[in-house]
Amino acid sequence: MTAVPTHCPYCALQCATTLHPVDRVQVSVQPRAIQAFEGGPTNRGGLCRKGWTAPEVLTVPDRLTTPLMRNAAGNLVAASWDEALDFVADRIRSLQASYGSDSVAVFGGGGLTNEKAYALGKFARVALRTANVDYNGRFCMSSAAAATNRAFGIDRGLPFPLADLGGAGVVLLVGSNLAETMPPAVAHLQSARDAGGLLVVDPRRTATAGLTADDAGIHLQATPGTDLALVLALTHVVLQEGLADTAYLSERTDDPEGLFRSTAAWWPERAERVTGVPAATIRRAARVLAAAAPVHGGDGVFILTGRGAEQHSKGTDTVTACINLALALGLPGRLGSGYGCITGQGNGQGGREHGQKADQLPGYRSISDPAARAHVARVWGVDPEDLPGPGKSAVELINALGTAGGPRALLVHGSNLLVSAPRLASVRERLAALDLLVVADVVPSETALLADVVFPVTQWAEEEGTMTSLEGRVLRRQAAIAPPGEVRSDLAVFAGLASRLGCGAAFSTDPAEVFEELRLASAGGKADYSGITWERIDAGEALFWPVPSPGHPGTPRLFADGFSTPDGRAHVVAVDHRPVADDLHAAAPMYLVTGRLLQHYQSGAQTRRVPELAAAEPEVFAEIHPRVAAQLGIADGRPMRLRTARGSMVLPARVTADVRPDTVFVPFHFGGSEAVNELTNDALDPVSRMPEFKACAVEVSAASLPVTGVSA
């Protein structure tokens, strides 16, 4: 048993670690300072609390170790792999014979390795021939992906190494709480803090917003759902005060005048009425941004967006406004400056590049592009005409389950829909309406417990493969221990079902072979991995895609010589503010916002099973401002009721001045009766199809009853 270099299983920072096997099923973990690029280590030898305790998930008492099937009495009982695979294949054949290929749907996850994500998309389109495939990354950064694609012609979360932030004079974070979601990344903000240039847009005084104290920066505590108006006002000041990089706008964008026109009416006094941020603060922030911009000889500016900006029915436009601000300052493509999106899930970047998304094929190709279809079909050995077209996005797919003409079966890999999706009562109804629900997971998640068949699959320390970090850097995941019991990889599930369904295409269970096929399928695409090999990664090369040939060094920084648009220019897209879909009204006069905690991750299926993390934050709660709590008779720790148009829940109050008086905050990591997504809105962004998790109208009151969780 030797030390094994790998990476943390949680967020897209993908902190480097070394695993030391203790025995056949346990490992200990140590952080490892890897070089991000040109000498800058990404995690600087650090790990957050989740990373340090990650090995405990490998041995949780309820780890799934054998396939489960629901018996006649309605209970999940142990079964053999052959029994489970035979049953699922038979049901798929029967349903597709009666209702057509699209009657079976597949739902993936942003935590799957590149190899699994690739195989999932291939399985859906080749073995099942269904258009109905999407994944939980639709809930993560689809708005940023849509915005960067239409502005720059390409979507890579950070088009520069994270270490570049370390020399910047200003970093503007819009809707990102790095200090709790990616603690090791905070070290890269120190230069901006030292210069008084950390700007944080958030309705809460989060741990990240708190870093602006003592003249280290500015917290712009905007009303929920108004980030777009705030950024339009910042851009207005930059343009109207003559602070913009006009030469850059003329040379590198397609419509400078359109940028002026679209922001002309957003003077700071107007924005103050919408956002609650004082006009003087908006002007000061805009001037701080401009002073650090390259055109004025500053130390550089980075504008970064997170889920707080994106998880809205106007998320794509909010990110677009941030991109337009970056263009006005002349940032994209400049060394030491730029715009980027903070990817959340561990493989949120790679997960959407290789075919899980409803409209994409491997290499970030459009499934509607005939040339893309022909290329991928050749790799897969199928006729391009046999590949389905674009399918439904995540929420639309969920809403169609079990309906007339909708999917009758759903296969879920790496996602816990019954915690992470919006408007959960509807999700529960739709899953119950299915003829077949199959879930592959490592623990009995809330979604797995509803399944007809559960497949136990490998997790991080038990498998080989690659992940792609928020920087677009491809990293190796290496196995340190063997999986327990009868656990197999998701690759084995795809291969086993494909062979039983009579699919002629090859489905390997060897991750190395799958990666070699992925390289071929991605060749020539925007996310070109064809020049990447495991040997190059293991030798220490920092390979940022695109890597279009074996000798290519990778592309750590994009846009230096032009953008990936047909004319090589960044495209200015005019946007304007609009209210949240479920806005305040007399019966619901406050905003409900949701977000993450330091101790937990995503749906909490992993972290809620780690004793140290669960003890630190054992239950759901609602943050409420002291003044509002006093007005409503709500005491700290006592029950309060939240009611939206979709349901109500009773939960303990956490009275704090860190939240705006018009806002209550609830973390989304908890399941069952503690799941706040019972209350959130599934209104969709018209471009990205992102649901509006982040803001909806809520009625708040004291509750005389004990904390009971969700009710209709």
Domain boundaries, the chain: 4-59, 68-112+120-139+347-460+477-507, 142-341, 590-711
The CATH T-level fold of domain 4-59 is N-terminal domain of TfIIb (2.20.25)
User: Residue 237 in contact with residue 263, Cβ under 8 Å?
Assistant: no
CATH of domain 142-341: 3.40.228.10
For 620: left if phi > 0, alpha if psi spans -120 to 50, otherwise beta; the answer is beta
Q: How many Å apart are CA 628 and CA 701, to the nearest integer?
A: 10
Which pLDDT value is given to residue 23?
85
pLDDT of residue 39 exceeding 60, the answer is: no
What is the value of pTM for the model shown? 0.96
Q: Calculate mean pLDDT across residues 276-304.
A: 98
Helix-then-strand count for the chain, H and E: 24, 26
**Residue 486: pLDDT band with limits 50, 70, 90:** very high
The percentage of the chain sitting over the pLDDT mark of 90, rounded to a whole number, equals 94
**Residue 127: pLDDT band with limits 50, 70, 90:** very high
pLDDT of residue 38 exceeding 50, the answer is: no
pLDDT of residue 670 exceeding 60, the answer is: yes
Q: What single-letter DSSP state applies at residue 211?
A: T
Q: Reduce the DSSP state of residue 363 to 3 states and report it.
A: coil
Residue 153: phi and psi, rounded to 5, are 85, 5
Q: For all residues of the chain together, what is the average pLDDT?
A: 95
User: Residue 710 in contact with residue 648, Cβ under 8 Å?
Assistant: yes
**Residue 504: pLDDT band with limits 50, 70, 90:** confident
User: Residue 642 in contact with residue 699, Cβ under 8 Å?
Assistant: yes
Q: How far is CA 2 from the centre of its chain?
A: 33
CATH of domain 68-112+120-139+347-460+477-507: 3.40.50.740
pLDDT of residue 648 exceeding 80, the answer is: yes
Q: How many CB atoms lie within 10 A of CB 234?
A: 33
Q: What single-letter DSSP state applies at residue 220?
A: E
CA distances, 352 to each of 43, 127, 450, 484 (Å): 23, 20, 26, 29
* E strand or H helix that includes residue 52: helix 49-53
Beta bridge partners of 4: 19
The region of weakest confidence among 68-82, 265-279, 347-361 is: 347-361
Strand bridging mode 217-220 / 198-201: parallel
User: Residue 399 in contact with residue 415, Cβ under 8 Å?
Assistant: no
pLDDT of residue 7 exceeding 80, the answer is: yes
User: Residue 314 in contact with residue 686, Cβ under 8 Å?
Assistant: no
Pair of tokens at residue 7: 């990476």
**Residue 1: pLDDT band with limits 50, 70, 90:** low
pLDDT of residue 711 exceeding 60, the answer is: no
Q: How many Å apart are CA 168 and CA 173, to the nearest integer?
A: 13
Burial of 477 (0-12, 13-18, 19+ CB in 10 A): buried
CA distances, 601 to each of 105, 175, 349, 395, 408 (Å): 26, 17, 17, 21, 30
Q: How many Å apart are CA 399 and CA 394, to the nearest integer?
A: 9
Which pLDDT value is given to residue 704?
83
Q: Calculate mean pLDDT across residues 675-702.
A: 97
Q: How many Å apart are CA 216 and CA 212, to the nearest integer?
A: 5
Q: How many Å apart are CA 312 and CA 690, to the nearest integer?
A: 7
Which pLDDT value is given to residue 2?
86
Q: Reduce the DSSP state of residue 70 to 3 states and report it.
A: strand
pLDDT of residue 453 exceeding 90, the answer is: yes
Length of the chain: 712
Q: How many Å apart are CA 86 and CA 64, to the nearest integer?
A: 20
Q: How many Å apart are CA 575 and CA 315, to the nearest integer?
A: 11
The percentage of the chain sitting over the pLDDT mark of 70, rounded to a whole number, equals 97
Q: How many CB atoms lie within 10 A of CB 210?
A: 14
Pair of tokens at residue 693: 């998790």
Which pLDDT value is given to residue 336?
96
Q: Calculate mean pLDDT across residues 18-39.
A: 77
Q: Reduce the DSSP state of residue 604 to 3 states and report it.
A: coil
pLDDT of residue 35 exceeding 80, the answer is: no
The region of weakest confidence among 17-26, 153-162, 205-214, 411-420 is: 17-26
- Beta-strand ranges (E) seen in 461-585 are 465-468, 474-477
Pair of tokens at residue 392: 């439904």
Q: How many Å apart are CA 116 and CA 109, to the nearest integer?
A: 10
pLDDT of residue 301 exceeding 70, the answer is: yes
Beta bridge partners of 457: 488
**Residue 44: pLDDT band with limits 50, 70, 90:** confident
pLDDT of residue 708 exceeding 60, the answer is: no
**Residue 379: pLDDT band with limits 50, 70, 90:** very high
Per-residue pLDDT of 228-264, as tens digits, reads 999 999 999 999 999 999 999 999 999 999 999 999 9
Closest CA to 696 of 400, 311, 201: 311
Q: Calculate mean pLDDT across residues 216-220.
A: 98
Multiple choice CATH, 590-711, 2.60.40.10, 3.40.640.10, 2.40.40.20, 3.40.50.620:
2.40.40.20
Tell me how many degrees the CA angle 533-536-539 measures, rounded to the nearest 5: 145
Q: Reduce the DSSP state of residue 201 to 3 states and report it.
A: strand
**Residue 37: pLDDT band with limits 50, 70, 90:** very low
